[in-house]
């Protein structure tokens, strides 16, 4: 019975491990990159996808060379170089994916570590055990090709993961104006104009946009002016930052509020304006002045994408679930305020981020207040990991929110005397 030398058996085992590792890495890298080459939301993401596909194809070619070299015994200096290049490509891809993964933990971390560990073994087997470097007679050209490939990969990584998230800022302006007020015997007509304008170069998803019109009265006016002592009381007891010499603090009551756009349903392209006009009717002599304001939450179109239909929940139906404390506190309404909640899962701009980041969802809260109190700013929103429902500034660092282009803006208040 023939006896197989121990070295030959080990060589076949290492060859099988080399072949299977290259096949597995090729399948994974092509799978990751293929979707991004056609569906990534930015050209940089598509370029990164193309590099992953290229690395996968190199690994696949290297696997074919392993079969020729280790199993058929027809290897040459070129098959050795291709196998070495394939192992380096897997190592580079694994390091790049690990660098992206380090910002957040997902189970795919172990896959990237597996790629790095396997490629480390493969390089040790090729360079130490088999002395593959000596078989390559064109070492300078090989080193030049490997260095150029590494430089392109690193440059793409820096561009897509570091530079791009902070370049080309999203520039959207929101405004609210009160037009010429008309009156008749019983009714006052207040015309309102709202505008969202994208003056930048980056498209934006409007997560939610709202307005509120507030009627303003003063409790009483005084002929002698109010003293600093009374101002101190206003600051201590009321927390006021606007102090009046001849009037008490203003009383505010929201007389009209609403959504300017359906949540998660409008894309504002560069150079585009969205304008909406309304007329609110009020009883004559009900208020001394009116104040209008609007607000919006935005998301960069090239960073995230809506991943499913919007889920809508009304607090007065179903279980009667209360809004989170951070929502009611930030808007300044009681804990039992009525609200409508809109929620939708989102996906990232490319497949690599979908694998290296936790799943997230957007939630928009449209607050309606109670019978006795109404919100002046009715919207709150969060972009958080699945399973969380926290205030955005607590669940995400501002740097992370800027990466996704999740931002808030408002007009302040425009006032007109009636």
pLDDT digits (tens, 9 = 90+) for 211-262: 999 998 877 766 678 778 877 877 877 666 777 777 777 788 899 999 999 9
C-beta atoms surrounding 233 within 10 Å:
13
Q: So what's the pLDDT on residue 5?
A: 41
DSSP tag of 334:
-
Sign of CA dihedral 336, 340, 345, 350: negative
Q: So what's the pLDDT on residue 388?
A: 63
Treating both helix axes as pointing N-terminal to C-terminal, what angle do 109-124 and 6-39 enclose, rounded to 10 degrees? Answer: 140
Phi, psi (degrees; rounded to nearest 5) at 374 = -130, 145
Q: So what's the pLDDT on residue 1?
A: 34
CB 117 within 8 A of CB 110: no
Q: So what's the pLDDT on residue 167?
A: 61
| 389 CA to centre of own chain | 16
Phi, psi (degrees; rounded to nearest 5) at 71 = -100, -35
Q: Does the predicted model carry a pTM greater than 0.85?
A: no
Q: Say how far apart CA 292 and CA 412 lie, in whole Å.
A: 8
DSSP tag of 288:
S
CB 183 within 8 A of CB 210: no
Q: So what's the pLDDT on residue 27?
A: 92
What residue spans of 209-357 are helical by DSSP H?
228-233, 325-331, 351-356
Task: Give the residues of the chain that fall short of pLDDT 70.
Answer: 1-12, 71-75, 77, 132-168, 221-223, 238-240, 386-400
Q: Which candidate, 126, 45, 122, places its Cα nearest to that of 356?
A: 45
Q: So what's the pLDDT on residue 67?
A: 84
Treating both helix axes as pointing N-terminal to C-terminal, what angle do 77-101 and 43-66 enclose, rounded to 10 degrees? Answer: 140
Phi, psi (degrees; rounded to nearest 5) at 341 = -115, 130
Q: So what's the pLDDT on residue 400?
A: 62
Paired sense of beta strands 204-218 and 266-268, if any: antiparallel
| 382 CA to centre of own chain | 11
Q: So what's the pLDDT on residue 30?
A: 92
Q: Say how far apart CA 294 and CA 276 lie, in whole Å.
A: 12
Q: Say how far apart CA 125 and CA 1 lie, in whole Å.
A: 30
C-beta atoms surrounding 28 within 10 Å:
23
Beta-carbon contacts of residue 200 (< 8 Å; ≥ 6 apart): 168, 169, 170, 171, 172, 270
Q: Say how far apart CA 263 and CA 274 lie, in whole Å.
A: 15
CB 147 within 8 A of CB 40: no
């Amino acid at each position: 019975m023939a006896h197989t030398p121990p070295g030959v058996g080990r060589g076949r085992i290492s060859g099988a491990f080399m072949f299977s590792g290259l096949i597995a890495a090729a399948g994974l890298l092509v799978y990751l990159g293929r979707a991004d080459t056609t569906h990534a939301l930015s050209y940089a993401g598509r370029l990164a996808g193309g590099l992953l596909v290229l690395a996968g194809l190199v690994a696949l070619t290297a696997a074919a060379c392993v079969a020729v070299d280790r199993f058929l015994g027809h290897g040459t200096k070129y098959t050795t170089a291709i196998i070495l290049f394939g192992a380096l490509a897997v190592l580079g891809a694994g390091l790049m994916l690990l660098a992206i993964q380090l910002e957040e933990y997902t189970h795919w971390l172990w896959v990237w570590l597996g790629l790095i560990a396997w490629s480390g073994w493969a390089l040790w087997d090729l360079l130490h055990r088999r002395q593959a470097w000596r078989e390559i007679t064109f070492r300078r050209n090989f080193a030049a090709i490997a260095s150029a490939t590494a430089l392109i990969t690193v440059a793409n990584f820096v561009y897509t993961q570091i530079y791009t998230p902070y370049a080309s800022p999203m520039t959207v302006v929101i405004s609210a104006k009160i037009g010429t007020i008309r009156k008749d015997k019983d009714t006052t007509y207040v015309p309102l104009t709202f505008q969202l304008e994208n003056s930048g170069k980056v498209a934006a998803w409007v997560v939610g946009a709202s307005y509120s019109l507030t009627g303003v009265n003063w409790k009483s006016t005084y002929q002698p002016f109010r003293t600093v002592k009374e101002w101190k009381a206003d600051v201590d007891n009321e927390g006021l930052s606007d102090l009046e010499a001849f009037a008490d603090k203003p009383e505010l009551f929201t007389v009209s509020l609403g959504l300017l756009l359906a949540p998660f349903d409008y894309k504002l392209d560069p150079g585009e304006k969205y304008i909406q006009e309304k007329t609110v009717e009020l009883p004559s002599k009900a208020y001394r002045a009116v104040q209008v304001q609007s607000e919006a939450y935005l998301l960069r179109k090239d960073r995230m994408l809506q991943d499913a239909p919007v889920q809508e929940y009304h607090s007065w139906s179903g279980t009667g679930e209360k809004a989170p404390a951070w929502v009611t506190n930030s808007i300044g309404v009681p804990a039992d305020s009525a609200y409508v909640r809109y929620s939708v899962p989102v996906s990232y701009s490319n497949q690599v981020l979908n694998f290296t980041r936790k799943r997230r969802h957007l939630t928009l809260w449209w607050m309606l207040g109670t019978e006795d109190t109404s919100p002046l700013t009715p919207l709150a929103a969060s972009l958080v990991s699945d399973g969380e429902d926290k205030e955005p500034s607590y669940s995400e660092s501002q740097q992370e929110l800027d990466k996704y282009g999740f931002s808030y803006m408002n007009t302040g208040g425009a006032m007109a005397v009636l």
